[in-house]
Structure 1
Amino acid sequence: MKPMNCPAHCLMFGSMTRSYRELPMRIADFGVLHRNEQSGALTGLTRVRRFQQDDAHIFCREDQIEKEVVACLEFMKFVYDIFGMSYRLELSTRPKKALGKKELWDQAETALAQAMDKFAGEGNWRENPGDGAFYGPKIDIKVMDAMDRVHQCATIQLDFQLPIRFDLRYRKKGGANGDDSSSADDESEVSSTTTNDDGDEEDPNVLPPDFARPVMVHRAMLGSVERMFAVLLEHYGGKWPFWLSPRQALVVPVGKSFVPYANQVKDRLKVAGFHADIDDSSNSLKKKVREGQLAQYNYILVVGEKEETNDSVAVRNRNNEMEGEKKIDEVIAEFRILSETFQQDVLEDGL
């Protein structure tokens, strides 16, 4: 059980001698995390004790910080554009209780500010003084749902402290007489604590001249999957876009004699990779369609004698708008387009 992935990724980086040629090194983890939150702080899916996080850590050189942070911001934009959510950026700076020297904090905050200027432009983000993590400043991405409610999901954090705490290092360019290759002797040398001429132990964080500290970038795009699911529920109001919907199509036969054909249609949709169900109850057609709409099926496919003869279906969307008769192969092709293009509003655009 672990509350975070950062220490494990630091140990992975520090398990062998690293060269500047290996940076940036990106390590991602989508594992299960546990945090013993106070019972009064637990809230639905937004704060739980066991969760999964799309966590990643990037170990890079100082001259690579801006490029890596901008790449993280572009990744974030790609993700939230697909969800159809807007966002705003905030730079959270050094809190009162913080690790490390103020000079390192200033350097980290400047690097993040430059990256945000490059990504969003000057004046298109705001500063949030004193709200950084205890180990480094961070970029908070405040996401707005369809009702303009604000949610904290994605985050990008810059960390100079953990590399010091875990004594992480890499061989600089031109180090070891211009040779950046590693050896068993190098391993033992750089992992041991240095001593002075009198035999007294020196600061273990002092690096040999051939080595430098990496900078660590923490990034999560969704945050916890559980919290993101709750946010998306609020954003879509239960009306999931087709590509994300667990109820994409409901096949409705107009009578019992057309149930076998309705099952064939359902099976063809499932083989094509779509979520499809059938309502073969004895309810009236009107009631079946209404219940399908209330269950938020994106599309209701009505079949009868004409549709069975023509190998087709009569298409309605969940707004109860008739889209006419279409061949099953045509419907499958258009469903694929909806899935592949992450179309947001199938209610207006339809097929």
Structure 2
Amino acid sequence: MQARKLPDGKHLTCTLIDRTERKKAEDALHEKSQELEKTNLALEQLATVFTHVREGVIITDPEGTILDVNQAFCRISGYEREEVIGRNPRLLKSGEHGPEFYALMWQTLAEQGHWSGEILNRHKNGGLLPIVLTISAVRSGTGAVRHYVALHTDISALKEHQKQLELLAHYDTLTGLPNRKLFDDRLQQAIVHGKRHEQSLAIAYIDLDGFKSVNDTFGHDAGDQLLKVIAARMQAALRESDTIARFGGDEFVVILEDLGTTHASTAYIKRLLTAAAQPVDYQGQTLQVSSSIGVAFFAPSDTLAADQLLRQADQAMYQAKLLGKNCCHIYDPEEDQALPIHHQQGSENPSSPDS
């Protein structure tokens, strides 16, 4: 309120000013200023996260045009920021996923507003890049999609670690050949395949003759080198479709698939005998062993289980040892059934002939 004396000196005039609206405007302005300050702070925090987060980030418009990416994305994908701005994330497609994969992805995005899963992208250098991808839709107050934000987590190291664990679980660390576990799986598959395609298969159980003497005379390093060389030679003597596994020690087992007749295995058995008998050079010393091989056949009409077939080959190998070593013996149910099993659950039978 403002007061002013009139010229007669007897009266005053008063003016009332309503500042309510002004106060409201000032309060609203102050509130907006605080909101703007908070927004700017949030944007600064988002910018810091965008810049320093380890995951690659892509921001697109509703049509999928790339608006921005962070440095982590550039590091993961191999692309520079300028190379991808204005383009579509399809440039990362590897060709490893079919149309149905992407159709389900976009359906999930539309229904749930987000999608997450493993995907194989293509690195700029052409290599495959395993990624955990998370895509989220950013919507306006009306519910319309304003942006898509995609997080890329590089899992290459994890996949490589899993691969190494897979190798340790299924392959012999010394020779690189399949181990007993993988062999058992492949034998089951080979039996199913043989029945389906009416093809015979053979199991060749191999034990090296004289290997203990090499270890005793030249040491375990020499023995390991001998095993690696002979394993590689025997593998080279077989077809790609065949399997040779190391059961431990100096014992190997071979699966010969798709044999039209039992005689078809003869050439491969001879090659295996030759591969084992060839001398191996070790630090100027000549290492030489031979092998005893037992063979058992599985015909499409047979009802033998995999472990029974392996046992027959094992018994036939024992007979080859008794016959003088450096030879092959084919399992004969009438003669060999009573023979002991040379190899049982990874350990030698004490009554087996000296190897």
Greater length-normalized contact order (CA 8 Å, ≥ 6 residues apart)? 1
**Shorter-chain TM band:** under 0.3
Q: Over alpha carbons, which structure has the higher Rg? A: 2
TM-score, length of structure 2 as denominator length: 0.24
TM-score, length of structure 1 as denominator length: 0.24
